[in-house]
Structure 1
Amino acid sequence: MLANTTTIVFSKWLTLSKVITSVGFFSTIIAVTTFLILSFFFVRTNYENYKRYMVVFSLLGFGLAAIEAAVNPIFHSYNVGFVMFSLAHPFSASTEVAFTLLLFYTGFYAATISFLTAQFFYRFLAIVYPQLVPTFFGGFKILIWISYSFYFGVQWALGVIIFAHLDDVATEYMQDEMLQYYGKRIEDIAMCAVVAYDKNYNLRWFNVMCILNMTLIMMIQYGLIIGFGWRMSVTIKQAVSMLSTSMIKLHTQFFKVLVLQILVPTITLFLPVFILMYTPLFNFQLRFPSGVMLSAFSFFPAMDAIIVMCILTDYRNAIKNMFEGVSMTVHGAMRVTNVAESTAMSRWTT
């Protein structure tokens, strides 16, 4: 009876997580599609090169949200361990394929936060060393930064494969938990696990290496972002007397975008993952479906696109022009219809 009750309670949390993920995914479709349409057809600027990097970043975020919607990854924390698994089988895929998609999901997460670092580096050079921008970001050098982000994505996914695969200790520790709260046997689902301590409370360094690998990647990206951001803020303040009003306004807008681009993922990407990773080391004696906390991932791409469209003047003007064009088209169509109706009416009365 207890098993049935707890399974029902946790199924409600899973339903909530799935609803949040679905809403986030559809929000991402709308926001990112709008951003891409504006970028390709309406926004004409003198920072076209940087615009390509914003487009790539939006596409990475969209890929993260799409994989999350397809796989619906579930996280569960239990005392000295946590698991990531999926009950979904997209397109009737096998458990092995579902596990591969889980790995893609973790890789896209790391790639997305890494490409954000490339954006900060671009704006850092544009403000502090503008003469070096063509050297690091001109032409096809965008492929270097795409490779940079995917390197860390691969490192993150490999860390999960190597250090978080299910062994006998993790299986024994989690099997009753999964059966009682999710009604599933471990061998029937796509799953990886981290269990920080064994029965004798000895640290399992093999699993802890997974946490350290994730921490290393996050600290590298976050450290670079904070460093570039601090230097940009200092330089902008010092250059107020030397730059034109329009350039100060442009750099200030970009800086606001970048600050929000790190503030939002700090809340939706970095902090939840950091909390989830380190709870096993402190053995807080708790169990909860932590996936609900992480389902905010799916909103990040939408929020990022909205940030850019709301702050940058070029995008705000493009949105205004787009809606004015739609309004004029609608009014034009209505005018033509009214004229046609008037003509037909006059002919009938005649």
Structure 2
Amino acid sequence: MFGTVYLPYIKFCIFMGDLGFFSNAFFGFILVYLTLFYIKRQFGSYKYLLVNFQLLGFIFASFEFLFHTFLHTYNASLIYFSLSRPLGLSNFSMEWMMGIYTGLYSATICQLAIQFIYRYWALFDTPKIKYFHGWYYLIWVSYYSFFGVLWAFAVGHFFAMDDFGREYLGGEILLRYERNITDIPVLGLIAYEGNSIRWRNVYGLSLMTLISTIQYSVILICGHQMYHGMRAKLSVLSAQNRRLHKQFFRALVIQITAPTIILFCPVFFMIYAPFADLEMSFPSCIIQSGFTVYPALDSIIMMSCVSEYGRALKKLIWNTRQKYTVRSPGPAADESKETVKTGSKAITTKL
């Protein structure tokens, strides 16, 4: 692929970003509306986690819709850049917006870990559910906010461009995307500088790895405990609660398994690939574009796995249809009104 310009891939990624934004707005709105107004009693405080997750997913998709960021793999580097500067932002401001965008990704993983903690406590340590009520909920907001900010700092600070980075990547950016590297916002993970490791980039990568390891450890431990102890615990619950717990667990497993295999693993491979120092040039944004539709996919997974959403959606459609029928009477009703009016006139004439 020597000498190939990758701008057509950029157009595809922009299309995927727009698709992700609008699909997330549609499916996310449906899930949040049903959760808040139709099935909130069955879910208890868990509804706050579901709504929060969807709102964060919408913000995540909105960032991609506004800023359109892209990944590119080149030899011993992974480049993270944008070809535009919306809202009149400077390159420096845009680079930090790009960092915040990746921090939102980290926060979504943290929220999945929090949901696993909730489901685990709901089964094995019910009194601790109080920590999801009232001001205690701020603990969890602080949890995913802290790791999101830490991830954004790792990307924005440790992957900032220096003179060596601009010299190393400038020709590749110009060749593949027809842009001068000084004219666009660029962040980059460059593994080596000559024969030496670029420790600055390693520090940032280590922070990201630590954050991911913590969240996946929580998910795996809670998931393992629920899988092996769920049968005994569910046997003492009512049929409805038993079914609901199973459905939530299934949804969480799919929510974390599908994107991990399809999206997160390939991205982490790209992050560590620069240390192999392979001679390659690849528009990694093709893989990255899958992240833009993930929030909408998550909403679909939840509504498909939890049967209460199906019943709530049917109820919503029924109520809407009934409301429309009342407001828009059919021809028969019009004829009835006409008959009444005619009869009234006849009575008036006789009188």
TM-score w.r.t. the length of structure 2 is 0.91
The equivalent residue for 2:47 is 51
Measure the CA separation in 1 of the matches of 2:37 and 2:129. 25
- Describe how 1:235-250 pairs up with structure 2 within 5 A: 235-250=229-244
Q: What's the CA shift for 1:338?
A: 4.6
The equivalent residue for 2:93 is 97
1:60–1:112 CA contact under 8 A, matched in 2? yes
Work out which of the two has the higher radius of gyration on C-alpha atoms and give 1 or 2: 2
Measure the CA separation in 1 of the matches of 2:122 and 2:263. 27
The equivalent residue for 2:201 is 207
Question: Structure 1 residue 278 and structure 2 residue 259: aligned?
Answer: no
Aligned counterpart in structure 2 of residue 263 of structure 1, from 250, 257, 260:
257
In 2 relative to 1, CA 267–24 (structure 1 residues): closer, same or farther, beyond 3 Å?
A: farther
1:79–1:283 CA contact under 8 A, matched in 2? yes
2:263–2:287 CA contact under 8 A, matched in 1? no
Measure the CA separation in 2 of the matches of 1:321 and 1:339. 25
Amino acid at match of 2:92: E
Q: What are the superposed Cα offsets for residues 226-250 of structure 1, whole Å, 9 maximum, x if unpaired?
A: 1111101111123344333222212
Amino acid at match of 2:84: A
The equivalent residue for 2:220 is 226
Question: Structure 1 residue 335 and structure 2 residue 329: aligned?
Answer: yes
In 2 relative to 1, CA 209–346 (structure 1 residues): closer, same or farther, beyond 3 Å?
A: same
In 2 relative to 1, CA 177–326 (structure 1 residues): closer, same or farther, beyond 3 Å?
A: same
Aligned counterpart in structure 2 of residue 72 of structure 1, from 65, 68, 75:
68
Measure the CA separation in 1 of the matches of 2:174 and 2:22. 32
Give SS of 1:284's match. coil
Q: How many residue pairs were aligned?
A: 342
1:196–1:203 CA contact under 8 A, matched in 2? yes
Q: What are the superposed Cα offsets for residues 28-58 of structure 1, whole Å, 9 maximum, x if unpaired?
A: 0001111121122222423321111110011
2:49–2:115 CA contact under 8 A, matched in 1? yes
More divergent stretch after superposition (92-101 vs 48-57): 92-101
The equivalent residue for 2:134 is 139
Q: What are the superposed Cα offsets for residues 40-97 of structure 1, whole Å, 9 maximum, x if unpaired?
A: 2222423321111110011111111110111110111001101101112223333233
1:196–1:281 CA contact under 8 A, matched in 2? yes
The equivalent residue for 2:164 is 169
Q: Which runs of 4+ in 1 moved over 4 A?
A: 341-348
Measure the CA separation in 2 of the matches of 1:72 and 1:240. 46
Give SS of 1:257's match. helix
- Describe how 1:22-61 pairs up with structure 2 within 5 A: 22-61=18-57
Q: What's the CA shift for 1:342?
A: 6.5
Aligned counterpart in structure 1 of residue 299 of structure 2, from 298, 305, 308:
305
The equivalent residue for 1:317 is 311
Give SS of 1:239's match. helix
Question: Structure 1 residue 153 and structure 2 residue 176: aligned?
Answer: no
**Which ranges in structure 1 are unaligned for 5 or more consecutive residues?**
none
Q: What's the CA shift for 1:332?
A: 3.5
Measure the CA separation in 1 of the matches of 2:172 and 2:336. 74
Q: What's the CA shift for 1:327?
A: 2.2
1:81–1:196 CA contact under 8 A, matched in 2? yes
Aligned counterpart in structure 2 of residue 13 of structure 1, from 9, 12, 15:
9
Q: What's the CA shift for 1:209?
A: 2.0
Identity %: 34
1:76–1:287 CA contact under 8 A, matched in 2? yes
Measure the CA separation in 2 of the matches of 1:318 and 1:120. 24
Give SS of 1:335's match. coil
